[in-house]
Amino acid sequence: MWINMGPQHPMTHGLWNLRVKIDGELITDCDPEMGYLHRGIEKISEDRHYNEVITLMDRTCYVAGFAWEHLYVLAAEEALHIQPPERAEYLRTLCEEFQRIGSHLMWYAAFVQDIGLMSPFLYGMRDRDLVLDLFQSYTGARMTYEYMRVGGVRNDLPPGFTGHARKVLDWLSDRFVEYDRLCLGSDIFRKRCDGLGVLSAADCVATGVTGPMLRSAGVKRDVRRDRPYAAYPQLDFDVAVADGADVTARYLVRMEEMRQSVRLLRQVLDWLDHHPGPVLADRLPRWLGAPYAPVGKEEYVLKRNYPKGVGFSSIEEPHGEAQAYVVNEGSEHPYRVKFRSPVFANLSATRHYLVGYRVADIPPIMGSVDICVGEVDR
């Protein structure tokens, strides 16, 4: 019997459809269907000025907006031959790591809710709110920040931010202990998660699965370490890995990543305290942020004699390894923008880690994937 889990289903955490073939409670086959949330972000980007694409990046993944802004900005800077100031790079690292914590807390909340734990769901959301409050204090927005710019960031931190951020980090470090006690300390939790959704390292590589799912299989792969960008070369952190490749291992990896993010953020905040400076590069082309040109008004699309270039960036997004490719043909719009979404690959491999388990295992397994459909469909 085929059943459609989605597009509207509590398990999906977004808008996609998991078709499952079941025999009693046993899953014998499955087929993920994506595309319900396709907004054509890559195509729209070709019609926008470079800085206007950042608005779309926030909407690409609504729980990790900063990561996608960062990804695009890095590729665009390479394509446009622009070097951001050092302080901007640290600020971006700050954004990305706080975003990682925020995104993982969101994942934690959704994941425990999937296996029926009600209270930790609200604990996760409560603590994520503290991170969002921090974002609000320096970008003005809680989810769609529009903060990064090609060539730097929009504005510097408000006074007193670093002290407040450190308090939040202290609070969060204590909460991580509590989370572990609530989940790993519970026998039912272990019974629901141990040995489920196993995806071996070889399968991960074969299917292009990245991020915490790959690291939970014991593969020490992290773009921040292997292909460092922004301020990561100067920072000290460990790559979180676990053995087992199951749901529990993914839980452990994400928890450890949040701890590592706290560690990274403490270093970043210390650096920011002692190194004031500009946050936006000098003498940027003015047309980077010119008004949006409606489709069809071709006269706006001026051919600038700007040096052509191609930009590629790859970052460790909370969900996995995201990549961007931006082609600059010398006009004020990017000629082509292409993204690689990690969740798309992670979801496409569903058949490898879902078949053979039971219907009741679908929520914990899919919850451990950490789905963000916005970036799957773009």
**Nearest distance, CB of residue 186 and another protein, angstroms:** 6
**For residues 69 and 58, is the Cβ–Cβ distance under 8 A?**
yes
DSSP helix/strand/coil, 315:
strand
User: Residue 356: left if φ>0, alpha if ψ -120 to 50, beta else—which one?
Assistant: left
Residue among 20 and 80 whose Cβ is closer to another protein: 20
Query: Is there binding between residue 363 and another protein (CB under 8 A)?
Result: yes
**For residues 104 and 259, is the Cβ–Cβ distance under 8 A?**
no
**Nearest distance, CB of residue 254 and another protein, angstroms:** 17
* Residues of span 340-359 touching another protein by CB under 8 A: 358-359
- Dmax (CA) for the chain in angstroms is 66
**Nearest distance, CB of residue 24 and another protein, angstroms:** 9
Query: Is there binding between residue 23 and another protein (CB under 8 A)?
Result: no
Stretch that binds another protein, among 4-12, 35-43, 151-159, 334-342 (CB under 8 A): 4-12
Say which amino acid occupies 331: S
Residue among 3 and 302 whose Cβ is closer to another protein: 3
* Residues of span 60-89 touching another protein by CB under 8 A: none
Residue among 288 and 359 whose Cβ is closer to another protein: 359
**Rounded CA separation 172/64 (Å):** 18
**For residues 204 and 242, is the Cβ–Cβ distance under 8 A?**
no
* Residues of span 101-160 touching another protein by CB under 8 A: 112-119, 121-123, 126
**Rounded CA separation 266/127 (Å):** 18
**Nearest distance, CB of residue 92 and another protein, angstroms:** 33
**Rounded CA separation 84/131 (Å):** 25
**Rounded CA separation 122/253 (Å):** 21
Query: Is there binding between residue 3 and another protein (CB under 8 A)?
Result: yes
Footprint of another protein (CB under 8 A): 1, 3, 5, 9-11, 25, 112-119, 121-123, 126, 182, 186, 188-189, 191-192, 358-363, 367
